[in-house]
Amino acid sequence: NAGVTQTPKFQVLKTGQSMTLQCAQDMNHNSMYWYRQDPGMGLRLIYYSASEGTTDKGEVPNGYNVSRLNKREFSLRLESAAPSQTSVYFCASSDTGFYGYTFGSGTRLTVV
Q: Which residues bind another protein (CB under 8 A)?
A: 31, 33, 35, 40-45, 48, 50, 56, 58-59, 90, 94, 96, 98-106
Between the alpha carbon of residue 23 and those of residues 15, 40, 73, 74, the distances in Å are: 23, 25, 6, 5
> Which is closer to another protein, CB of 18 or CB of 96?
96
Of 10, 9, 65, give the one whose Cα is nearest residue 34.
Answer: 65
* Closest distance to another protein from the beta carbon of 30 (Å): 8
Give the single-character DSSP code of 54.
-
> Which is closer to another protein, CB of 2 or CB of 14?
2
* Closest distance to another protein from the beta carbon of 85 (Å): 19
* Closest distance to another protein from the beta carbon of 106 (Å): 6
> Which is closer to another protein, CB of 96 or CB of 110?
96
> Which is closer to another protein, CB of 13 or CB of 92?
92
Q: What gap in Å lies between CA 64 and CA 19, rounded to an integer?
A: 10
Between the alpha carbon of residue 79 and those of residues 3, 6, 16, 52, 108, the distances in Å are: 27, 19, 8, 22, 17
* Closest distance to another protein from the beta carbon of 33 (Å): 7
